[in-house]
Amino acid sequence: MPKDYAAEILGGSSTAVARLITWLEDEDERAYQCMVKLYRHTGNAYIIGITGSPGAGKSTLTDRLTSHIRKAGLTVGIIAVDPSSPFTGGAILGDRVRMSEHNLDPDVYIRSMATRGFLGGTSKATGDVVKVLDAFGKDVVIIETVGVGQDEVDIIGIADTTCLVLVPGLGDAIQSMKAGIMEIADVFVINKADRAGADQLWAEVCYRVEQDAHIKSTDWSPTMVKTVAVNNEGVDDLWKAIGQHQDHLKNSGKLLEKRRERTYRETLRMIHNELFRVVREQLDSTGQLDHLVEDILDHKQDPYTVMRQIVKNWLSISQK
Amino acid sequence: MPKDYAAEILGGSSTAVARLITWLEDEDERAYQCMVKLYRHTGNAYIIGITGSPGAGKSTLTDRLTSHIRKAGLTVGIIAVDPSSPFTGGAILGDRVRMSEHNLDPDVYIRSMATRGFLGGTSKATGDVVKVLDAFGKDVVIIETVGVGQDEVDIIGIADTTCLVLVPGLGDAIQSMKAGIMEIADVFVINKADRAGADQLWAEVCYRVEQDAHIKSTDWSPTMVKTVAVNNEGVDDLWKAIGQHQDHLKNSGKLLEKRRERTYRETLRMIHNELFRVVREQLDSTGQLDHLVEDILDHKQDPYTVMRQIVKNWLSISQK
């Protein structure tokens, strides 16, 4: 009889968790079977997103924040999404393994994931991995990711509370890339706040937050926190700020609303990915597309008409 | 009678080009009608990808390179894909409009596109926009994009020759993000080569290129070029390097192979996007997904089973 990985995960096996996450990354069919069983055990974890430029000190901050959460008696799952190459991804993984003081704590589960795959593969896997750690019983799940690119914005969209980590002196070009992310930040963290330029950055972010408050009709005005993560300074303030945002979401009914939207997006994305999987499998196995590609290259057919015809032939909903 | 935008584009109307690109971005049905007509006029443009960190000087380099290409008697289309927010995207667009010396040249067409949309929307639109500029008669199409995130890697995958722009002193964290991109670079450009650290960066990239040559069995070893784009230094070397790569692709038969792979990927992506579009339209219009989301939130159903059922119900391929 094959091992029941879902049961093992619910029983506390971190080895089974690691195996399942690998299956999720590889889009292995066994992952699907497990997730079906695990789903009803999800919905309890609070999800925190930590994002910011490379070099902003996200890993250290996550590490220190984890200590605070552990002291509060809660268990933690950490998902570090690295935009590194599948070929060279080992470097950042190594970094993380080296830095964490929580490696020996059974109540902290840490997983690095490379950003990879075609068409938002990671975003999908990240949402699933959050569910795994949720079902695994972690009270808080932290997603740590570099805040650039649509994929990362999508990933951070999974979080209940999103913290954007900024640091003085990283330069305008990089900070401006954060524009898309700035709008979804619930808590701004000025890390390395002992550095020159911290006050100016604080003032800039203040100005930005106030401006946004005028433009957007929102009932949450982002909190701002100063930290020096390496010295463990301000991390308690960050944890408090997250707690305040959590209370706000719960009391206003926004948490349910947020999770409803997330479930909608995630289900839509799952359908999107599943469609692609089935279509690709079908086209690859029949060789149908190979012939069409030759015709398209020879300009005997155009890809737009081909695409519409294939879709028309395949979809049965139109007839129903 | 409605305007025939395809005919206008083939007749040289840049206004019609601008309109079509907006339709493509909006996934307007009229774009589809135009693309069907334009497709047989594509396949002539040579496609160059310029990628690199924010602040690497890609825009300036693209501008200077465009001057060189114009002097060679060729026409140019530029697609600048900016990872800026849909809310604040105007900044970078403004920047580009300000900087280009080619705004008044009718043989240069410049278009900024924001990275936006759900699930790789930009990559799809970029591929179509390249075809539009190709059909519009541009000899060279330059795609300029920040080389981070899977979406950008997909975008740059459209190019025949990919140039990766690196600069001294941007720091390890940022350069290491380029890992995924480094593997697909055909030409390495060390820009701002008059800065401290340029020689060291050159040596590092050299080492990397040599290492890769040992590992991978490829018949093209990436060329390396030093530039100071603001002073127009080394831009002729870059143009030469691109020409060498182009010759290599043509003489080895790799150009056709590359375009065959691209056509395959693009057609697959089109089919997938079209399927998803139809399915999503159906889900939204019937309100079916809303009901399912409530059941999923209440843990009455799991999203994994829901997803499989929806896809199974809609696709008729499995029975055929």
pLDDT, residue B25, reads 84
pLDDT, residue B82, reads 64
pLDDT, residue A152, reads 64
* pLDDT classification of A217: cutoffs 50, 70, 90: low
Domains of chain B plus CATH, in order, are 1-38 (no CATH), 42-252 (3.40.50.300), 269-319 (no CATH)
Residue B87 confidence (pLDDT) above 50:
no
Nearest chain A residue to B266 by CA distance is A303
Give the pTM: 0.77
CB atoms under 10 Å from CB of B285, counted, come to: 8
In the block, tokens 């350069």 appear at B175
Contacts of A266 in chain B (CB under 8 A): 303
Of all residues in chain B, the percent with pLDDT exceeding 90 is 50
What SS3 state is found at A83?
A: coil
What SS3 state is found at A221?
A: coil
pLDDT, residue B66, reads 96
Average pLDDT for B190-215 = 86
Nearest chain B residue to A177 by CA distance is B84
Which residue in A179, A311, A317 is closest to B88 by CB distance? Answer: A179
Which residue in B149, B182, B274 is closest to A307 by CB distance? Answer: B274
* pLDDT classification of A9: cutoffs 50, 70, 90: very high
pLDDT, residue B255, reads 94
Of all residues in chain A, the percent with pLDDT exceeding 90 is 50
Tens digits of per-residue pLDDT, A174-191? 454 445 566 778 999 999
Contacts of A311 in chain B (CB under 8 A): 271, 274-275, 278
Tokens of A149: 């690119």
pLDDT, residue A214, reads 72
The residue that leads in pLDDT, B99 or B58, is B58
pLDDT, residue B83, reads 53
Tens digits of per-residue pLDDT, A113-126? 765 544 444 666 88
Quote the CA–CA distance of B294 and B281 in Å, as a whole number.
Answer: 19
pLDDT, residue B53, reads 73
CB atoms under 10 Å from CB of A143, counted, come to: 27
pLDDT, residue A249, reads 96
pLDDT, residue A171, reads 59
Average pLDDT for B108-128 = 71
Quote the CA–CA distance of A55 and B24 in Å, as a whole number.
Answer: 37
Average pLDDT for B270-296 = 89
Quote the CA–CA distance of A24 and A9 in Å, as a whole number.
Answer: 14
Average pLDDT for A93-107 = 65
Tens digits of per-residue pLDDT, A48-78? 999 887 778 888 999 999 999 999 999 999 9
Minimal CA separation from A119 to chain B, in Å: 6
In the block, tokens 């599948």 appear at A86
Tens digits of per-residue pLDDT, A266-312? 898 889 888 888 888 888 888 888 999 999 999 999 999 999 998 88
Give the DSSP H or E segment for A168: none
